[in-house]
Chain A
Amino acid sequence: MSGTLPVTLLYFAWVREQVGASEEVLWLDAPEPLSVLVDRLRARSCGHAEALSDLSRLRVAVNQDFTGWDHVAVPGDEVAIFPPVTGG
């Protein structure tokens, strides 16, 4: 069962390594909160499940702005999941 509304997912740093991809597409049936979207991502592979097991270790951005897991993703959104940043 897959929807018709695409959301682009981007992964960085160890999240990218554990998932095994830097980018993928998830098809939604309707807009949904990121916490629900992540539940479905976890089912995709062991790597996804491992990388996304603890949301407190992760940060999320939608369309390149930081947001929270209660944010509702809509079609066309660019959702990026990554560890806390360590630049500078």
Chain B
Amino acid sequence: MTFEVRVQREVFVLDVEYRKLMGINDKTGALVSFSGLVRDAPLELEHYPGMAERQMQAVLDAARGRWPLLGSIIVHRYGLLAVGDPIVLVLTASSHRAEAFAAADFLMDWLKTRAPFWKKATEGWVNAKVSDDLAARRWDIK
């Protein structure tokens, strides 16, 4: 089983990460990938080194407690990013697609409300969205 969280300035290569989860064992029947991209305007992403990795790991551990994941990789970038640049990558592997989709959805919802990253646009710091909090809270009812 491969489980990994990473914070990095440089771009990630989807295919490289994807291959880490392909064929990890004979039980893997589903592999879901989500990439978040910069839209509309360039961004600068600040993060809290150490806590970012720690919270990403905690979110991944929570997902593993809810779904029988066979592997997962989460990569979050920081620094200056242009429109179209990838910001975040979530990969989940499981035996069946329902768990892999649900876990990826959950991981993104919780990352957006728990991982210490902050977006700054040209007009200033981006405000947190109520809709993100609500999205994260729907997982409270299990």
Contacts and interface: CB of A to CB of B under 8 A. Distances in A.
A87 B51 CA distance: 13
Contacts of B91: none
Interface in A7-37: 10, 12-14
Given A12-B46, A13-B125, A14-B125, A85 B117 contact: yes
A83 B120 contact: no
A29 to B, nearest CB: 27
B45 to A, nearest CB: 7
A52 interface: no
B115 A87 contact: yes
Contacts of A4: none
Interface range on chain B: under 10, 10 to 19, 20 to 34, or 35 or more?
Answer: 20 to 34
B97 interface: no
A66 B112 CA distance: 14
A84 interface: yes
A85 B112 contact: yes
Nearest to B124: A14
A88 B125 contact: no
Given A13-B125, A64-B51, A64-B54, A88 B118 contact: no
Contacts of B32: none
A66 B52 CA distance: 12
A86 B50 contact: no
Given A12-B46, A64-B50, A85 B115 contact: yes
Nearest to B126: A86
Contact of B114 (A10, A66, A82, A83): A66
9 residue pairs, one from A and one from B, having the closest CB atoms: A87-B117, A84-B128, A88-B112, A64-B51, A13-B118, A86-B119, A86-B126, A14-B125, A64-B54
13 contacts: A12-B46, A14-B124, A64-B55, A80-B51, A80-B116, A82-B118, A83-B118, A85-B115, A85-B128, A86-B129, A87-B76, A88-B36, A88-B87
